[in-house]
């Protein structure tokens, strides 16, 4: 994790406050201190009006009109908190929600879901690897449009990328397929050997399903064909963080 956050403030809202108890106990077990506050539906939106909140957690038992008010209120905050919906399998994701988490029955399940929230709330250290400076700038601009926080760095080729990965705690690499020296697949292989915990997204302008299949078979988290857009990045990050992408 990066950034200068030392604790997180989480507001949880439910029509049935007792349903939030696993979350409250799970927050006490989190790897990062979480200031957890539960609100019933009638006061949830008002609580968000004060700002200073990192995460807004909405239980899917909240009626749709009240959910919409809470989401709209949260999205007006500066900085905007991440908004997560807690629901059972098959729950839909309302517009404006950053991801769907499960509905925990125990504090241990809640802690696991909250670790996803923590990962998403802290800036993720990202390395953009492309031999074209212009393309690195374009990818950086696209990444900056993500709703998640990213700490971006660059490398112009595979060997330089490996050097940076050895010296820093990166979470994610956006890796060009066609590069001189170490090509994309050779670099991916070395990353998986030296830094197996780092996720890799392969990028290419080539239309070839075989490249995508090979990228996935080689351990890439995702494959993106240029050009791509902030929404594509957000979909990748949802997978990276472990969020359900139901809509």
Q: Supply the CATH number for residue 68's domain.
A: 3.40.50.2300
Q: Is 246 a member of any domain?
A: no
Q: Please tell me whether residues 117 and 133 are part of one structural domain.
A: no
Q: Is 181 a member of any domain?
A: yes
Q: Is 1 a member of any domain?
A: no
Q: Please tell me whether residues 184 and 152 are part of one structural domain.
A: yes
Q: Please tell me whether residues 48 and 36 are part of one structural domain.
A: yes
Q: Is 233 a member of any domain?
A: yes
pLDDT the model gives residue 78: 87
pLDDT the model gives residue 207: 74
Count of domains for the chain: 2
Last residue of a domain, one of 88, 121, 154: 121
Last residue of a domain, one of 98, 121, 144: 121
96-100, 171-175, 182-186, 208-212: least confident range: 208-212
Mean pLDDT of 38-45: 81
Token pair in block for residue 221? 């988290």
Task: Express each pLDDT in 85-114 by its tens digit.
Answer: 998 877 778 899 999 999 999 999 999 999
Q: Please tell me whether residues 128 and 234 are part of one structural domain.
A: yes
Q: Please tell me whether residues 100 and 184 are part of one structural domain.
A: no
Q: Determine the structural domain holding residue 190 and report its residue range.
A: 124-241
DSSP string, the chain: --SS---EEEEEEESSGGGGHHHHHHHTT-SS-EEEEEEEHHHHHHHHTT---SEEEEETTS-HHHHHHHHHHHHTSSSPPEEEEE--TT----TT--EEE---SSHHHHHHHHHHHHHHHSPEEEEEE-S-HHHHHHHHHHHHTSSS-EEEEEESSHHHHHHHHHHS---EEEEESS-SSS-HHHHHHHHHHH-TTSEEEEEES---HHHHHHHHHTT-SEEEESS--HHHHHHHHHHHHT-B---
Q: Please tell me whether residues 93 and 148 are part of one structural domain.
A: no
Q: Is 128 a member of any domain?
A: yes
Instruction: Tell me the pLDDT band of 246, cut-offs 50, 70 and 90.
Output: very low
Query: What's the mean per-residue pLDDT of the chain?
Result: 90
Q: Please tell me whether residues 176 and 225 are part of one structural domain.
A: yes
Task: Express each pLDDT in 178-196 by its tens digit.
Answer: 999 899 999 999 999 999 9
Q: Is 140 a member of any domain?
A: yes
Q: Is 247 a member of any domain?
A: no
Quote the pTM value: 0.87
Q: Is 68 a member of any domain?
A: yes
If one compares 3 and 145, the residue with the highest pLDDT of the two is: 145
Q: Please tell me whether residues 22 and 88 are part of one structural domain.
A: yes
Angle formed at CA 25 by CA 23 and CA 27, multiple of 5 degrees: 65
Q: Please tell me whether residues 108 and 192 are part of one structural domain.
A: no
Q: Please tell me whether residues 104 and 13 are part of one structural domain.
A: yes
Do the beta carbons of residue 207 and residue 190 sit within 8 Å? no
pLDDT the model gives residue 244: 64
Measure CA 37 to chain center.
23
Q: Please tell me whether residues 82 and 130 are part of one structural domain.
A: no
Q: Please tell me whether residues 137 and 52 are part of one structural domain.
A: no
Last residue of a domain, one of 121, 140, 155: 121
């Amino acid at each position: 994790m990066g950034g200068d956050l030392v604790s997180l403030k989480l507001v949880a809202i439910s029509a049935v406050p007792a349903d939030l108890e696993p979350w409250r106990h799970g927050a006490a077990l989190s790897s990062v201190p979480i200031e957890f506050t539960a609100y019933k539906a009638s006061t949830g939106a008002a609580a968000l009006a004060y700002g200073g909140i990192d995460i807004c957690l909405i239980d899917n038992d909240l009626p749709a009109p009240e959910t919409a008010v809470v989401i709209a209120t949260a999205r007006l905050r500066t900085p905007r908190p991440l908004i997560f919906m807690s629901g059972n399998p098959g729950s839909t994701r309302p517009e404006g929600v950053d991801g769907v988490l499960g509905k925990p029955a125990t504090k241990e399940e809640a802690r696991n879901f909250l670790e996803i929230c923590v990962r998403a709330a802290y800036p993720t250290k990202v390395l953009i690897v492309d031999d074209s400076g212009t393309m690195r700038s374009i990818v950086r601009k696209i990444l900056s449009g993500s709703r998640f926080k990213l700490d971006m760095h660059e490398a112009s080729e595979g060997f330089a990328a490996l050097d940076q990965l050895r010296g820093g705690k990166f979470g994610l690499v956006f890796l060009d397929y066609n590069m001189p020296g170490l090509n994309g697949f050779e670099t991916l292989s070395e990353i998986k050997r030296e830094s197996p915990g780092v996720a890799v997204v392969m990028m290419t302008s080539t239309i070839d399903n075989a490249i995508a299949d090979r990228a996935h078979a080689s351990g890439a988290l995702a494959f993106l064909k240029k050009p791509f857009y902030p929404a594509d990045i957000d979909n990748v990050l949802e997978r990276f963080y472990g969020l359900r992408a139901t809509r």
